[in-house]
Amino acid sequence: MASQNLPPVLTSPRTRALGLCALPVLALFAVAAFVPLPFTLESPGATADTLGTYDGAQVLTITGTPLRQTSGQLRVVTVNATPPQQRNSLWDSLAAWGDSKRAVVPTEEVFPQSDPEKADQVTLQQMAQSQDSATLAALNYLHLSPDQVGVQVRLGDIGGPSGGQMLALGIIDKIAGDGRGGELTGGRDVAGTGTIDADGRVGQVGGIPLKTQAARQDGATVFLLPRSECAQGKVNTPDGLQLIPVDTLADSVAALQALNSGGAVPHC
């Protein structure tokens, strides 16, 4: 078979120019894909039952008053976050953006303190303040004096203020139950989040969609959250998890009482 001489492929000056221009753009994109970005990646974290143990220690130790036996759970819920010193690449961030079980958040929003040790200190201080507020809120609700009742909280390395509501409910359940002779949980696995002050006001927190997933993964069927964050609560809500919005500690107790008695329960 006779060979054929094919004509040379000709490219226009414009095509060659576009090709030359594309090379630095592609190189820039390739470099950017691996350059660390100031974002923190979050995912569902651990939960801790305030009525039980966490990390080998009893979460709530209460003295100075008789205590009740409990069988349900009242779970503090956490979010895992990459540490402030870790800078995630564009690929890491894009992968997390496309995953409903992860979130991408500016690092400065999660860790106002860029120093890792200071960031840990801040979150632990917030938890200590939250524990004090939760104790006062619960004892105020029960009309008990902190001079007579002692409360010690052990939550290991869990930090931040968002566990306040559930700690207060744990104290109430251990001391008084639902106030009607039964358990506040009704034997259910209840989780929730929200800051609390000494007057029992429940404040908003972040990471609600990830916290609902963490709660459901650990068996919770009820989730208490600040009313102002209902919209966030409905983002990718896991099947089998009932959202109950509240504004105060009294709201939370009343909602759980209604749940136990078959009454009307608030919903998002």
Task: Check: pTM over 0.75? Answer yes or no.
Answer: yes
Q: Is residue 205 part of a domain?
A: yes
Phi, psi torsion values for 189, nearest 5 degrees: -100, 105
| Of 234, 239, 232, 242, the residue nearest 188 (C-alpha) | 242
Indicate the range of 99-108, 133-142, 158-167, 195-204 predicted with least confidence.
99-108
Is the residue at 25 inside a domain? no
* Average pLDDT over every residue of 50-70: 97
d(CA 150, CA 143): 14
pLDDT bin (cut points 50, 70, 90) of residue 28 is very low
Average pLDDT (141-152) is: 97
User: Which pLDDT score is estimated for 14?
Assistant: 52
Has residue 233 been placed in a domain? yes
Residue 119's pLDDT band, with cuts at 50, 70 and 90, is low
pLDDT at 254 over 90: yes
The CATH number of whichever domain residue 158 belongs to comes to 3.30.230
In a domain, 97, yes or no: no
Model confidence at 113, pLDDT cuts 50, 70, 90, reads low
Q: Which amino acid is at 245?
A: P
- Whole-number Cα distances in Å, 151 to 58, 105, 179: 12, 35, 20
Residue-level pLDDT at 132: 96
- In DSSP notation, 91-158 reads HHHHHHHT-TT-EEEEHHHH-SS-SHHHHHHHHHHHHHHHHHHHHHHHHHHHT--TTT-EEEE--TT-
Q: Mean pLDDT throughout 41-62?
A: 95
Q: How confident is the model at residue 116 (pLDDT cuts 50, 70, 90)?
A: low
Q: Are 173 and 151 in contact (CB under 8 A)?
A: no
Per the structure, the complete domain to which residue 155 belongs is given by: 46-79+121-261
pLDDT of 181 > 50? The answer is yes
The total domain count for the chain is 1
Strand 73-81 versus strand 189-192 pairing type: parallel
Instruction: List phi, psi (to 5°) of 215.
Output: -60, -45
